[in-house]
Structure 1
Amino acid sequence: MPQLLTQSLRNLFPLLLGIALFGMGIYALQHLLAPVDPADILHTMRATPVAVIALALAATTVGYSALVGYDWLALQFIGRTLPVRVVAFGGFLGYAFGNTIGISVVSGGAVRYRIYSAYGLNAFDVAAVSSYIAIALGTGLTLIGLAALALNPSLAAAYLPFPPATVAAVSGGVVAVSALVIFGTSWSQRSLRVWRFDLRLPPPRSLGWQLAITLTDVVAAAFTLWILLPDGKPDFSAFVAIYGIATMIGVISHVPGGVGVFETVVIGTLPATVPVGEAAAALLLFRCIYYLVPFSLGFVLVSLNEARLAGGVAARYFGRATGPLRPAIEAMGGAVPSLAAVAAFSLGIYLLLVSMIPSAQGHALAEGDLVAAILLEGGTLVSAVAGGLLLILSHGLARRIAAAFWLTLATLAGGAAAALLNDLDVESAALLLAGLGVLVPFRDAFYRQAKLTSGVFSAGWFLVVAGVLAGVGAFFFFVHQATPYSTDLWTEFSRDAGTPRSLRAGLAASALLLFFAVYIALRPVRATRDTAPEPAALERAAALLDKAHSPQACLALTGDKQFLFSRGGGAFIMYAVRGSSWVALGDPVGAPDEVGELCWTFVEKAERAGGRAVFYEASHHHLPQMIEMGLSLHKIGEEAVIDLPRFSLSGAKFKSMRAAHNRRLREGLDMQVLDPPHSPALLAELGAVSDAWLAAKSGREKRFSVGRFDAAYLNRCPIAVVRHGGKVQAFANILAPGDGRAVAIDLMRYLPGQASGIMEFLFLSLIEQYRDRGALEFSLGTAPLAGLSDRSVGRLWNRFGRLMFRHGGAFYNFSGLRAFKQKFRPDWRPRYIAVPPGMSPTRAMLDVALLVAGGPKGLVGRAENSDARRAPAPG
């Protein structure tokens, strides 16, 4: 329990730090804006000339065009080429969503993965692209900020306890040393050791392009803000330094978008000739233009493309999606729930803020004070409650719950009506109706018939909501700072009583969220820990294997796993529980259209029981689904698969193997494949071979991800038997689900003293026999920890995995296993482990290892596994 608490606190620490820094930024900003009248800020924003807005939008376009260049350089760095339109589409959406949302389920990396994976990039390619962009952006912005600080040290004098000369010297020295190291390393193409990571920098030409892109991005963004500032602002060259310093501090703070922190630094470093209220108006407009406009444009673009794919009116007017971009457009459909959740959450914040603003259009209502007061009171209360509801419903949208989608539409419609009641706020009503219209094409993405509270509302989610309420509270005090507090404020009702109305609205929204939080906290936890499958569940799973395509699905029959079936009964997940890890083995089995709902159900079932869902040995087929659920992917090895129609022992590369196989045939070895059910006499003979095999090994027989010698299990599988003189020398059971087009070897045993070459003989005999039967693929199983990335941007897990692969002989002969399978010239297909955010893959793999070993005692000794799928076969 203490370890779990420590891990939870460690996971929440970055979020708590971000919220704390955000709160400090908001507090400092409120202190700077204390003498400012909020009405003046709104008036200044509305009075901004159209020509200035147009110039700001043009500069934003230049900035985002430059940002796309990072994607182009990153793809060059990893040696991949994509169509220009695809890179522009993926880069723009990645920055449009990532810049605005920051740390969220929809990040730039997740968007890029969906788009770029549709063109052949795997998860590690996209991770390399995202890492390159993050390092390039972070390094470039930091160095530009330090350079600006070296040239203008007095700008930060109020924030640093050092004299300007010291600030200039230190900043300039850091920039000079960093530039020498970066360009020197780039020129020599040697790796650069930074903390625990080895970084390889791009060549000088690419580094030059990167510098040009970073400067263009910073200059364009700085101009966007500078053109919005009032008279009295510094020259543009000096303002670039202010912008660079503010951006650097915002990046270092880790607050999403630097909200609050960035604004505080800019206002604090501007000359006294710039009115604070007008500077605040410019900053608000900058946030809208540089962040919200691209986000809204990207969201509308995704919505329009979704409507085009669905056909109907959008397809008639805009045409159906075709050409090189179609795979990218289709891939973005999977990100719709998360995008919709973010949009609903943002509109909820907007409604909460609107309910805090005093009425400014009272003249538009009828003259009857009583009627006007009732309408205003009702409109404000409904706006606040609708805002709170949208915060709650956003969680259901992220989990694809249909009820959350329809309730969100109803809430947006109600919020629009409330805005009209609230002094005919046409602008807010139009915004909410526009949001409703953009969400409508996404209705097919919300198919889950689950309760709105079926998922676990994490502590992180509640912290974010608490941060929102704190921000709304700060906004309320800022807007109503001129109104002295009195207990009569709570009971004052009139059309001019804006502060009391806002207080009551805030109380209603806070009460709604509080009641919801208490309800979630008091729900009973159902900690289900099953130990063995029910016979009926095992038979249901066996029946679904007739439609399965992966041989690994047959491991459902081993009798040591639990089953979770889809609502329609056409798919299942096999899993086992170890500690707090609910480990699903392989891909879900069954109807593809039921798999998405099933995966969500499994994750939520684990969460309700206080556990964490882990998908072990997941293939590339379901990686998008894992990403949608917010899981982190880590490569754990590669599966060796032989393309049977193309396999042949003829040719020089199989000369020695062919000679050894023929020699075994001449010596009298014979292999037969026996279909189930098997006779008790055969199973008894095989049992004797298995016992002899186990007696020669140390450790326990493995389970979970491999088969074990069990008569009930073996009676469901074909068995390959190798005999010499009529006596069984070796055997292996075969995994052949469905129509048998894909097969694999599972349990494999042989008599001591018969190891030399007998497994190779068995493999070759089975390969040739199943090829002649018309099978298409023959799996040799997974080579653990093989094929992990050597790229400089690889994760720590990759480093640990490669170390184990090369030097892990004391535990397991991983490299020998891959070398044995490589002799058959297979295709190597990646396998992954998917874990919840914040969970270490090493911890998850330890729980998997304990499941496979049958407990800690099973890890003792150096026993090769009892199956060919993971153990190096002798010979």
Structure 2
Amino acid sequence: MATETAEAHGNGHSGLRARFRAALPVLLAAALFALGLYALYRLLAPVNLADVTAQIRTTPWSTMALALLATLCGYLALTGYDWSALRYIGKPLPMPVVLTGGLMAYAFGNTIGLSAVSGGAVRWRVYSGLGLDGYDVAAVSTFAAVSFGVAATVVGLGALAVHPGALAAILPFSAPAIRLGALGIVAAIVLPLVWASVTQARVRIRRFQVQAPSLSILFGQILFSLADIGFSALTLYVLLPVGDIGFLTFLAVFAAATMAGILSHVPGGIGVFETVVIAAMPAGAPVDQVAAALLLYRLTYYLVPFVLALTALSLYEAWRVVGGRIPGGAAGRMVTAVEPALRAVAPLAPFVLAATVFGAGLWMSFAALVPATSESAEVAEALFPLAFVEGSALLSSALGAALILIAYGLVRRNRGAYWMACTAMAGSAVVALFHGVDIERAVALGILLLIFLPFRQEFNRRTRLSHAALTPAWAVLVVSVIVAFGFVLFFAHKSTPYANDLWWQFAVDERAPRALRAGLLASLVIGLSTLVLLLRAPRFRPAPPDADSLAQAAEIAEAADHPDANFALTGDKSLIFSDDGAAFVMFGVAGRSWIAFGGPIGPADAAGEAALVFVEAARREGARPAFYEIGHQDVPLMLEFGFSLFKMGEEAVVDLSAFSLDGPARKKLRAAHARAKRDGLTLEISAPPHSADLMDELKGISDAWLEEKHAKEKSFSVGRFTPDWLNRWPIALIRHGGRTVAFANVLRTARGGIATIDLMRHAPDAPAGTMEFLFTELMLALKAEGVSAFSLGMAPLSGLAPDRSHRVWDRFGALIYKHGGNFYNFQGLRAFKEKFDPDWRPRYLAVPSAAAPFLTLSDAARLIGGGSASRPSRLSGDAG
């Protein structure tokens, strides 16, 4: 008993440490965000919010037009990163696809602040459907990221070398030292890169080896990079007040601010970017005008492309809903050209819409904190009763807080969250009319609601919003929002001396007390709702499935595309179902890992929900969720979760419709098959249930095979020799002289499209070539029954390409595959399956971390070997 208590205590501490490590990067980003807000508040001390608002309203339309034109040119330059990268890897794609996919990826990724995730997901969806594999997509993403990082550094340092005083306000060095250092770093970056490009050398960076791009690609990318950084800087530059700062000087400031925002990992660099720009401005620059320019820059360079991309996606979704007929003429050709990219981006809509709703919630909440400055607001305060004015401010803050929380449900594709968001946006539009007759806000919310409507089918999960705890990232984000409320409240009303009676002052013109009450209400709504979500989250304790769960899983697996779904019925894995019970995930627990075997099983909508429930349940217990041996069809879902993919090997799938023993290519296989028949080998397929005598005979073969191999029964990814398991399936028997010398159980589903085998065992004295005969004869028999494909199983570590990926895991796996013959016959297994001319399909391990997954694979090995670190316990459902 004492040992169990100590073990539980240790596991508790381990879980806490795991959760802290998972939350640490988010906490650091939140701390930097808070520091950025504090620095920004100090820098904006002399600024009045009314002056900033007035400056924005008086900005000439000609200036806005120039800023929008610079933004358009900048985004077109951004797509050049992908164009150059595709040429670099030798797989160029049609320009309409690159333009559409690139513009959508950057419009969403830049604004949300997660371009590495959302941009990579977009690229995978677009490019994988056009012949590129995971290595190619990773190469494109890496090329784009490295190109931007190098270009921003070189451009910023180059501008700093020309005008070393640009960052004098924030750098403690003399102008000559800054110029010399900048030139030295630029030379250290550019000269080796040009030399490597000219000589086509391979550049080694630590453990990675990269082929330098050709001169044409290099110079083309230099132009794209200069255009990208130059036009994005120009967008802000034309909005800044006219002053003594030149464009090259400002370019150094802009590059430094951009890199600071990226390194902070704060979404969009909010607070950090603005702090660097304001701090680096000349002493005489009017801070209120700089602040207005920064706000307009955020709206122009980030929000406008985001809204346009979202609108285009909404129109495409509406077009699909009404039938998706392609018109004739030039319009039809344009739709045909861009439709593959739009179709690939469409599944990311829930995440993008969640970010949109989150932003709308911030907007509604901040609107209640900031005093209205338009004439219509003053008219409204004069015409409407006090209760309407006060109530609309409180309702605005409450609805804004609700939208912020609903966004979490939208990320999870929650159907109820979708309808709640629509209702809250409609209510917010009505409230905006009473809260200062804010027609602009009401119209904007109405348009956002119209954009939302076509995406109803994307929100198809029935998971309750209170069914999962907030992740560390969301919890920290909520706290950051409350901190931002305080920043806006104090900045907007810093000229009003604080007093306790401010809370109780009710009058039409008393805006500061109204803002205090609205801010308090919004913080309470968010804080209390978050607490409810944290407390109501149910716990899932892994345990062996009961008979009802196995029967439910059997019904779902029967309708699956791949027979591997039937491994859920072995009884050695826990099962976790979607809320509607239409899909499940099978998994085992070892160490700190919850490892699912394969992807979720069931209809696509319910399968995604089951996978999400599994991931959240594992994280709630402080464990590492992982998906073992998933196929390409599950990759988009894993990218949606933000998981990293590691290739485990390749599955050999034989197309039975084309399989035969005829032709010169099958000469060796045909000869081996004929020799086996001459030796007296025959195939018989025994249908379940099997007789006790047959099971005893097969048990003798199995025991002898295990003894000869010095092995024991395994689990998790394979079945075990038990009567209950074998009586579920037909068994292929190889007879020799009337005696059974080999067997394999055949797994199929009701669809019958693909079959595979699980246990394959033979007697020690079986004739040579027995197993090859079993495969050949069984495939011919299944083909005669109308089965379309046969899976020979996976060749572990096969197909890894370390020269392309430069990843530690691929290098390690390829080394083991080549030299690990003493432990496992990797190459021999691949060669055996190659005899049947299969189609090789990649299989992946999906894990939350980008680090090499050695710990997860070690835990998976324990599961396959029959070990587990968790003691079975009762399965619990809702905590409430």
One fold, TM greater than 0.5? yes
User: Deviation of residue 189 (structure 1)?
Assistant: 2.6
Show CA shifts across 1:199-220 (max 9, x none): 2232111011000100111221
Asked whether the equivalents of residues 49 and 491 of structure 2 are also in contact (C-alpha less than 8 Å), the reply is: yes
Aligned with residue 463 of structure 2, among 446, 450, 454? 450
Asked if residue 505 in structure 1 is aligned to residue 486 in structure 2, the reply is no
Q: Select between 8-17 and 571-580 the one with higher mean Cα deviation.
A: 571-580
Q: Select between 223-232 and 723-732 the one with higher mean Cα deviation.
A: 723-732
Change (3 A) 1:339 1:363: closer
Partner Cα separation in structure 2 for residue 474 and residue 491 of structure 1? 22
Could you tell me which runs of 5 or more consecutive residues in structure 2 were left unpaired when the two chains were aligned.
Answer: 1-10, 870-880
Asked if residue 686 in structure 1 is aligned to residue 698 in structure 2, the reply is yes
Aligned with residue 42 of structure 1, among 53, 64, 73? 53
Asked whether the equivalents of residues 746 and 755 of structure 2 are also in contact (C-alpha less than 8 Å), the reply is: yes
Q: Alignment partner of 1:729: what SS?
A: strand
User: Deviation of residue 496 (structure 1)?
Assistant: 1.8
Taking the TM superposition and a 5 Å limit, the aligned residue runs for 1:320-469 are 322-361=335-374, 364=377, 372-469=385-482
Partner of 1:600: 612
Aligned with residue 659 of structure 2, among 647, 651, 659? 647
Show CA shifts across 1:818-856 (max 9, x none): 232223221100112233457863333233222211017
Asked if residue 628 in structure 1 is aligned to residue 601 in structure 2, the reply is no
User: Deviation of residue 29 (structure 1)?
Assistant: 2.0
User: Deviation of residue 546 (structure 1)?
Assistant: 4.3
Asked if residue 247 in structure 1 is aligned to residue 258 in structure 2, the reply is yes
Asked if residue 726 in structure 1 is aligned to residue 730 in structure 2, the reply is no
Change (3 A) 1:203 1:8: farther
Aligned with residue 128 of structure 2, among 117, 120, 131? 117
User: Deviation of residue 39 (structure 1)?
Assistant: 0.9
Q: Alignment partner of 2:336: what SS?
A: coil
User: Deviation of residue 668 (structure 1)?
Assistant: 2.4
Asked if residue 554 in structure 1 is aligned to residue 566 in structure 2, the reply is yes
Partner Cα separation in structure 2 for residue 138 and residue 341 of structure 1? 29
Aligned with residue 279 of structure 2, among 263, 268, 275? 268
Aligned with residue 23 of structure 1, among 30, 34, 38? 34
Change (3 A) 1:528 1:716: same
Partner of 2:841: 829
Q: Alignment partner of 2:794: what SS?
A: strand
Partner Cα separation in structure 1 for residue 822 and residue 538 of structure 2? 42
Show CA shifts across 1:332-390 (max 9, x none): 33111111110011111112221121233477556987954322211211111111111
Show CA shifts across 1:101-129 (max 9, x none): 11389621122223333334344432222
Aligned with residue 805 of structure 1, among 817, 830, 836? 817
User: Deviation of residue 564 (structure 1)?
Assistant: 4.0
Partner of 2:72: 61
Change (3 A) 1:480 1:755: farther
Taking the TM superposition and a 5 Å limit, the aligned residue runs for 1:714-793 are 714-754=726-766, 756-793=768-805
Q: Select between 36-45 and 252-261 the one with higher mean Cα deviation.
A: 252-261
Partner of 2:686: 674
Q: Alignment partner of 1:456: what SS?
A: coil
Could you tell me which runs of 5 or more consecutive residues in structure 1 were left unpaired when the two chains were aligned.
Answer: 858-875
Asked whether the equivalents of residues 378 and 421 of structure 1 are also in contact (C-alpha less than 8 Å), the reply is: no
Identity of aligned residues (%): 45
Partner Cα separation in structure 2 for residue 48 and residue 429 of structure 1? 23
Partner of 2:490: 477
Q: Alignment partner of 2:203: what SS?
A: strand
Partner Cα separation in structure 2 for residue 384 and residue 396 of structure 1? 19
Partner Cα separation in structure 2 for residue 12 and residue 360 of structure 1? 40
Partner Cα separation in structure 2 for residue 340 and residue 180 of structure 1? 44
Asked whether the equivalents of residues 641 and 828 of structure 1 are also in contact (C-alpha less than 8 Å), the reply is: yes
Q: Which amino acid aligns with 1:561?
A: K
Q: Which amino acid aligns with 1:711?
A: P
Partner of 2:718: 706
After superposition, the CA RMSD in angstroms is 2.8
Partner of 1:294: 305
Partner Cα separation in structure 1 for residue 868 and residue 567 of structure 2? 22
Asked whether the equivalents of residues 634 and 797 of structure 1 are also in contact (C-alpha less than 8 Å), the reply is: yes
Change (3 A) 1:204 1:363: closer
Change (3 A) 1:792 1:772: closer
Asked whether the equivalents of residues 52 and 291 of structure 2 are also in contact (C-alpha less than 8 Å), the reply is: yes
Partner Cα separation in structure 2 for residue 610 and residue 166 of structure 1? 50
Partner Cα separation in structure 2 for residue 160 and residue 237 of structure 1? 18
Partner of 1:863: none
User: Deviation of residue 141 (structure 1)?
Assistant: 0.8
Taking the TM superposition and a 5 Å limit, the aligned residue runs for 1:175-194 are 175-194=186-205
Change (3 A) 1:455 1:755: farther
Asked if residue 230 in structure 1 is aligned to residue 238 in structure 2, the reply is no
User: Deviation of residue 454 (structure 1)?
Assistant: 1.5
Partner Cα separation in structure 2 for residue 286 and residue 713 of structure 1? 64
Q: Alignment partner of 1:325: what SS?
A: helix
Asked whether the equivalents of residues 100 and 257 of structure 1 are also in contact (C-alpha less than 8 Å), the reply is: yes
Change (3 A) 1:513 1:838: farther
Change (3 A) 1:500 1:854: same
Partner Cα separation in structure 2 for residue 4 and residue 202 of structure 1? 45
Asked whether the equivalents of residues 309 and 321 of structure 1 are also in contact (C-alpha less than 8 Å), the reply is: no
Q: Alignment partner of 1:696: what SS?
A: helix
Partner of 2:502: 489
Asked whether the equivalents of residues 590 and 868 of structure 2 are also in contact (C-alpha less than 8 Å), the reply is: no
Partner Cα separation in structure 2 for residue 336 and residue 724 of structure 1? 60
Asked whether the equivalents of residues 317 and 346 of structure 2 are also in contact (C-alpha less than 8 Å), the reply is: yes
User: Deviation of residue 580 (structure 1)?
Assistant: 4.5
Partner of 1:102: 113
Partner Cα separation in structure 2 for residue 577 and residue 527 of structure 1? 12
Q: Which amino acid aligns with 1:153?
A: P
Change (3 A) 1:831 1:324: same
Change (3 A) 1:148 1:245: farther
Change (3 A) 1:842 1:4: farther
Asked if residue 150 in structure 1 is aligned to residue 161 in structure 2, the reply is yes
Partner Cα separation in structure 2 for residue 52 and residue 678 of structure 1? 83
Asked whether the equivalents of residues 462 and 580 of structure 2 are also in contact (C-alpha less than 8 Å), the reply is: no
Q: Select between 38-47 and 755-764 the one with higher mean Cα deviation.
A: 755-764
